[in-house]
Structure 1
Amino acid sequence: MIIYPAIDLRGGRCVRLTQGDFNNQTTYEVDPTMMAEAFASAGAEWLHVIDLDGAADNGDNLRSVASIIGLTNLRVQLGGGIRTIEQIESLRALGAQRIIVGTMPIEEPDMFKEAIRRFAHFLAVAIDVRDDRVSIHGWQSESTWLIDDYVRHLEGLGVRTIIITDIGRDGMLKGPNLSLYLRMKRLTPMDIIASGGISTKQDVVSLRTLGVQGAIIGKALYEGHLALKAVL
């Protein structure tokens, strides 16, 4: 299982939201590139980067992203407001190893089918759920999809990797929704990356036992609840 330390960018700074609420933000006084370098020094090979301004349709943090990619040896999976083929192409050219889309599959299904046809090997779909219903637009809007149906739908389209976040657990440091990930592992052969609530070494062990392919850890690392070296 791959551990993905997380960097969420807003206004060029490292932040963490609680339960996806843009009004409930913690800002960390650390340069994003320096944070990425610290994760690399701890032994990380991958980095999960989300452009929250892009996700909320409020600008982007491409300068910070370019710096992280250019100054570290980390493989970066990047998401946040990526809703066109052109964006996918330009971010790949920038050096992102995996591109995350969330809203595109729901609001632009034809474009997404083209994206999967061309980029399936480095595309991941973010599935952000609140009470089993899928949210979009940076968790600000609720779609009509229920997660089980949506996962089957994506599998049928040829998606290879999904990133599942339980919004209610995100930033709460109360553990991941293990029952959700167990259900999804039984439902689909797609690679699953878990996100939301991971705060202890035991959380990571539990996810490994379930057989998920990756785990994203954010707030627990920033606030000293978990040492990255201990779970790599």
Structure 2
Amino acid sequence: MIIIPAVDIKHGKCVQLVQGEPGTEQIELDNPAEVAKQWELKGAKRLHIVDLDGALGSGENIGIVHDIIENTTVPIQMGGGIRTKENVKNLLDAGIQTVIIGTMAIKNPDIIKELSDEYGSERICVSLDSKDNKVVTHGWTESTDKTPLEYAQIFEDKGAGSILFTNVDVEGLLGGINIEPVKELLENISIPIIYSGGITSLDDLKTLSDLGTDYVVIGSALYKGLIEFEDALEYQSD
């Protein structure tokens, strides 16, 4: 299992929101590029960047993303507001290792096959954000009629290289994880699952590791000191 620190960017700062709601910032740090570099220095093998302004349609932080790419050497996965094939191409050309596509994939699943064929499936990740066991889109503001598993099966067939599963029901609340949804995905999907949402303790990491989770993204628990990254590395494999 690979432990991935989250660097969520809003209005030019590294932030942590409660369940993605604007105005609920619990953490605000200047210079996201420096924050990203510090995670790398602590031993992160991968970084998770989200452009929250892009996801919410309120702007973008591409200049800061370029600063992070230039300031770090580990692979970066990035999502938030990636709504066109041109967005995907520009990010991959800039040095992003894996693009995370949410709303665009839900609206047009065939785009995932096109992108996977063009750039390689390992560079294309589909984001499935779940609320009340239904996938939500547009920065978690609109609900669909399908479950995460139903969509995961569709996108596995379309050639996605991985699935980022975020459980919005527990995300940002620091109350621990709900294992059933991710367990269902791991038991039924063969491509890697990246889990995000509610990780609060080392026990949560042990649970996810025991389930066979491939990657986990941690945000608030790291920034609030509930989990020390050095301790989390106990559950990181090579």
Structure 1 residue identity aligned to 2:73: N
Of 67-76 and 151-160, more deviation after overlay is shown by 151-160
CA positional deviation for 1:105: 1.3
Query: Residue 64 of structure 2 corresponds to which residue in structure 1?
Result: 64
CA positional deviation for 1:25: 2.2
Asked if structure 1 preserves the Cα contact closer than 8 Å seen for 2:8 and 2:52, the reply is yes
Cα distance in 2 for partners of 1:30, 1:228 equals 20
Percentage of pairs with the same residue: 35
Query: Residue 13 of structure 2 corresponds to which residue in structure 1?
Result: 13
Structure 2 residue identity aligned to 1:186: E
Asked if structure 2 preserves the Cα contact closer than 8 Å seen for 1:124 and 1:163, the reply is yes
Cα distance in 2 for partners of 1:50, 1:159 equals 19
Secondary structure of the residue aligned to 1:66 is helix
CA positional deviation for 1:116: 2.5
Taking only aligned residues, the RMSD between alpha carbons, in angstroms, comes to: 1.2
Of 211-220 and 32-41, more deviation after overlay is shown by 32-41
After TM superposition, list the pairs within 5 Å mapping 1:1-232 onto structure 2.
Answer: 1-119=1-119, 120-232=121-233
Structure 2 residue identity aligned to 1:199: T
Secondary structure of the residue aligned to 1:144 is coil
TM-score (ref. length: structure 1): 0.96
CA positional deviation for 1:162: 0.2
Cα distance in 1 for partners of 2:145, 2:175 equals 28
Of 219-228 and 149-158, more deviation after overlay is shown by 149-158
Asked if structure 1 preserves the Cα contact closer than 8 Å seen for 2:128 and 2:165, the reply is yes
> How big is each residue's C-alpha offset from its partner over 1:125-158, in whole Å with a ceiling of 9 and x where there is no partner?
1100001100011111112222221111112212
Asked if structure 2 preserves the Cα contact closer than 8 Å seen for 1:8 and 1:51, the reply is yes
Cα distance in 2 for partners of 1:95, 1:42 equals 22
Cα distance in 1 for partners of 2:14, 2:84 equals 25
CA positional deviation for 1:26: 2.3
Runs of at least 5 residues in structure 1 that lack an aligned partner in the other structure: none
Runs of at least 5 residues in structure 2 that lack an aligned partner in the other structure: 234-238
Cα distance in 2 for partners of 1:12, 1:2 equals 27
Cα distance in 1 for partners of 2:64, 2:78 equals 12
Structure 1 residue identity aligned to 2:80: G
Of 95-104 and 29-38, more deviation after overlay is shown by 29-38
Asked if structure 1 preserves the Cα contact closer than 8 Å seen for 2:5 and 2:219, the reply is yes
Cα distance in 2 for partners of 1:98, 1:71 equals 17
CA positional deviation for 1:167: 0.2
> How big is each residue's C-alpha offset from its partner over 1:168-218, in whole Å with a ceiling of 9 and x where there is no partner?
111111112211111111111121011001111111111111001000000
Cα distance in 2 for partners of 1:95, 1:83 equals 18
CA positional deviation for 1:14: 0.8
Structure 1 residue ranges (4+ consecutive) displaced by more than 6 angstroms after TM superposition: none
Asked if structure 2 preserves the Cα contact closer than 8 Å seen for 1:84 and 1:111, the reply is no
Asked if structure 1 preserves the Cα contact closer than 8 Å seen for 2:112 and 2:124, the reply is no
Cα distance in 1 for partners of 2:27, 2:200 equals 18
Of 117-126 and 48-57, more deviation after overlay is shown by 117-126
Cα distance in 2 for partners of 1:29, 1:136 equals 26
- Flag the structure with higher strand content: 1
